[in-house]
Structure 1
């Protein structure tokens, strides 16, 4: 069995989804579909999150950027995967969701993970780059160059582009792109 699959399953067991849902939706945490979290955003479908995390191939000790952190669930899952020797920076465009996501991550994860409000007009958190892994939970119209600029070498980014889950693998100054099925996300802005 793929070791990343076991580690992702363990992260799901350690970071319960209900901790990252509005009170009125916590009873639906086991539902394998998106759940509204307010401001036109959702807590993503668990099967989709698991697929993205497996494609990302996160290792302990890595530096990870989580774009579109929302409620902080993916940030906390990533925190579990990188462990205390890693770093996870979640970034969220909606100020109220960023504050709530940070509260959720503080309550459930270690000090190596955080969620912050996105800087207007800036994609990602370039001042902390490079990152070993970048996870994007919003759909880009095309591969976001601003995020590619923050990816280390070696590095790996998982991002939905025009409805297709895209993996960019960087090694030795070369980028290889793989396509992994069709998904729907809120737009990346």
Structure 2
């Protein structure tokens, strides 16, 4: 039976949550609330997402060891670190974030989580959604609310890849098979808006 270091048999998402605590990814004044199942404010008007929401998204994404993963709206860096744990040492995770002040604190927290080498957080390029220069990606996680399905991210998704993204208030799971997309809906959620330009 498969077993990870955290003792979670056959449940990589639970193992990731056990291995990557939320606390280092929160501002000092929010750390006492790390165990609360609610979104928490960080800098720049952004939030560290509710743990239950993050868990649902990660389970929908189904990251496999060795996957190349794009984390759009990396924010505090917590989801980037969780994705790095799931992708493992042969994987690669690139988090992009538009707020430079958040990128610095996210990088520091990633260092605490020992996710360097597998994961990085970078400032999103002006006018560019995602990180097309490093694609395509096996998995794309979007932690901000889009108004429609962004073509720019679909183009960065590898054949056979999966993207999880809130569109409006509905969570979507997109599978790409060649030029065909399979789109399924998975409940209502609230996120900060996705900046697409």
> Same-fold call, TM > 0.5?
yes
Structure 1 residues without counterparts, runs of 5 or longer: none
Whole-Å Cα distance in 1 between the matches of residues 143 and 9 of structure 2?
A: 19
Q: Deviations over 1:125-167 (max 9, x none)?
A: 0000100000000000000111111000010000000110001
Compute the TM-score of the two structures, normalised by the length of structure 1. 0.96
Given that residues 4 and 57 in structure 1 are in contact (C-alpha distance below 8 angstroms), is that contact kept between their aligned partners in structure 2?
A: no
Given that residues 80 and 119 in structure 2 are in contact (C-alpha distance below 8 angstroms), is that contact kept between their aligned partners in structure 1?
A: yes
Runs of 4+ with deviation above 3 angstroms: none
Q: C-alpha root-mean-square deviation of aligned residues, in Å?
A: 1.4
Q: Offset at 1:4?
A: 11
Whole-Å Cα distance in 1 between the matches of residues 177 and 11 of structure 2?
A: 25
Compute the TM-score of the two structures, normalised by the length of structure 2. 0.92
1:12 aligns with 2:29: no
1:110 aligns with 2:119: no
Whole-Å Cα distance in 1 between the matches of residues 192 and 183 of structure 2?
A: 22
Structure 2 residues without counterparts, runs of 5 or longer: 1-7
Change (3 A) 1:5 1:150: farther
Change (3 A) 1:139 1:65: same
Given that residues 160 and 178 in structure 2 are in contact (C-alpha distance below 8 angstroms), is that contact kept between their aligned partners in structure 1?
A: yes
Change (3 A) 1:81 1:120: same
Q: Offset at 1:178?
A: 0.3
